[in-house]
Amino acid sequence: MTHALIVIDMQMDFCPGGALAVTGGDEIVEGINARTADFGTVVLTQDWHPAGHSSFASSHPGAAPLDVIDMPYGRQVLWPDHCVQGSEGARFHAGLSIDRADLVLRKGANPAIDSYSAFFENDRETPTGLHGYLTERGITHLTMVGLALDFCVNFSAVDAARLGYDVSVETALCRGIDVGGSMDAALTGMREAGAHLVGA
Ligand code: VGL
Ligand code: ZN
């Protein structure tokens, strides 16, 4: 019971037809559902932004999606409006087995800071509380799957490795966005942080 499955952002907006669609995002739903049976703890994360969030290009006059700007906490890719709290796009993919989840962790609610990682906001220091939850339950090993491999899975895996978890990322159960070389950078960064890339 020391292993948890962390399912990252399997939401409508990241699947084909969504506001920030990741190619093939819906192809991994069944595989993720099947994998939940193998873990004592299943955590789902849910990107959950207020309208007008600072990560949205629409909040920055003259900016377009995928532009990169400097924020007080570092560089930030600007995105189309997505995963707005309570919207259809913020819901989990209809085929995802959410009944099996022990915890649904919402992130990205702070209007001023994006939050890719399941553990910290993008300032890399404001905690989401997930580390406390997992630690209290005696969990030491994490397997990560979901969307997007080069953003939220990547940041979550790197933070988890830094926090001392044994982290595996099952790349066959992830899909990525790949903007400006983000996929190669993410794979390298995860490996350097000590995460195990399974199936890559
Ligand atoms: C994500 C971009 C913006 C993700 C979330 O889930 O990878 N990417 N918000
Ligand atoms: Zn987001």
Q: Which atom of ligand 1 is nearest to the CA of 8?
A: 6
**Cα 145 to ligand 1 centre (Å):** 13
Q: How far apart are CA 164 and CA 179, in angstroms?
A: 29
- pLDDT tens digits, 89-146: 999 999 999 999 999 999 999 999 999 999 999 999 999 999 999 999 999 999 999 9
Q: In this prediction, does ipTM exceed 0.95?
A: yes
Q: What burial letters (b/e) apply to 53-87, b meaning 16+ CB within 10 Å? A: bbbbbeeeeeeebeeeeebeeeebbbbebbbbeeb
Find all residues with CB under 8 Å of 170, minimum gap 6, and list them: 35, 143, 144, 145, 198, 199
Task: Considering only CA atoms, give the Rg of the chain.
Answer: 16
Burial class (CB in 10 A: 0-12, 13-18, 19+), 106: middle
Q: Which atom of ligand 1 is nearest to the CA of 55?
A: 3
The ligand minimizing its distance to the Cα of 108 is 2
Q: How far apart are CA 78 and CA 60, in angstroms?
A: 9
At 199 the pLDDT is 86
